[in-house]
Amino acid sequence: MRQDRLVAMAHLGLADEGQLQAMRDFMMDRIAWMDANLP
pLDDT tens digit string along 1-39? 567 777 776 677 666 778 888 889 999 999 999 999 988
Helix residue ranges, H only, 1-39: 3-12, 17-37
**What confidence score (pLDDT) does residue 14 get?**
65
- Return the SS3 of 28: helix
Phi, psi of 11 (to 5 degrees): -65, -35
Neighbours of 15 (CB within 10 A): 19
**What confidence score (pLDDT) does residue 17 get?**
79
Cα separation, 12 vs 20, whole angstroms: 13
The answer to whether the pTM exceeds 0.75 is no
* 3-12 and 17-37 helices, crossing angle to 10°: 170
